[in-house]
Structure 1
Amino acid sequence: MRDKGGLHLKVQEFCDCYATTDPLREMSVVKSEPDKEEGAFKWLALAALHGINNNAKKISITKTPSGEVKVIAKYRKSELPSPGAEVGEKIFETVKGITHIEGGEGSLPLALGIRDSSIELVVSMEQDEEGESVTIEFPK
Structure 2
Amino acid sequence: MKDTGSFHKKMQEHIDCYAQTDYLTELGRIREESDIEQAALNWLALSVLHGLDRNVEKIKLTKSADGSVEMTAKYREAKLPAPPAQLADKIIEIMRNITHIETDKGELPLSLGVRDSNVDLKIKMKKKDDKEKITLKFPETR
Q: Decide whether the 8 Å contact of 1:31 with 1:82 is kept in 2.
A: no
Match of 2:115 in 1: 115
C-alpha separation between the residues in 2 aligned to 1:6 and 1:95?
A: 11
C-alpha separation between the residues in 2 aligned to 1:8 and 1:118?
A: 13
Amino acid at match of 1:138: F
Which of structure 1's runs of 4+ aligned residues deviate more than 2 A?
Answer: none
Match of 2:28 in 1: 28
C-alpha separation between the residues in 1 aligned to 2:90 and 2:67?
A: 12
Name stretches of at least 5 consecutive residues in structure 2 with no aligned partner.
Answer: none
Alpha-carbon distance, 1:47 to partner: 0.1
Match of 1:50 in 2: 50
Kindly tell me the number of residue pairs found equivalent between the two proteins. Answer: 137
Match of 2:41 in 1: 41
Match of 1:75 in 2: 75
Name stretches of at least 5 consecutive residues in structure 1 with no aligned partner.
Answer: none
Alignment of 1:114-133 (within 5 A): 114-133=114-133
RMSD, aligned α-carbons: 1.1
Amino acid at match of 2:28: S
Structure 1 residue 94 corresponds to structure 2 residue 94: yes
Q: Decide whether the 8 Å contact of 2:104 with 2:128 is kept in 1.
A: no
Alpha-carbon distance, 1:130 to partner: 4.4
C-alpha separation between the residues in 1 aligned to 2:61 and 2:136?
A: 9
Query: Can you list the C-alpha shifts for 1:7-56, whole angstroms capped at 9, x where unaligned?
Result: 00000000000000011100011022100111000000000000000000
Amino acid at match of 2:126: E
Q: Decide whether the 8 Å contact of 1:59 with 1:72 is kept in 2.
A: yes
Structure 1 residue 106 corresponds to structure 2 residue 86: no
Amino acid at match of 1:8: H
Higher relative contact order (CA 8 A, sep 6+): 1
C-alpha separation between the residues in 2 aligned to 1:93 and 1:103?
A: 12
Alpha-carbon distance, 1:104 to partner: 2.5
Amino acid at match of 1:62: T
Structure-2-length-normalised TM-score: 0.93
Match of 2:9 in 1: 9
Of the structure 1 ranges 99-108 and 10-19, higher mean CA displacement relative to structure 2 is found in 99-108
Structure 1 residue 18 corresponds to structure 2 residue 18: yes
Q: Percent identity?
A: 45
Query: Can you list the C-alpha shifts for 1:73-116, whole angstroms capped at 9, x where unaligned?
Result: 00001110011112111000000000010123100000010111
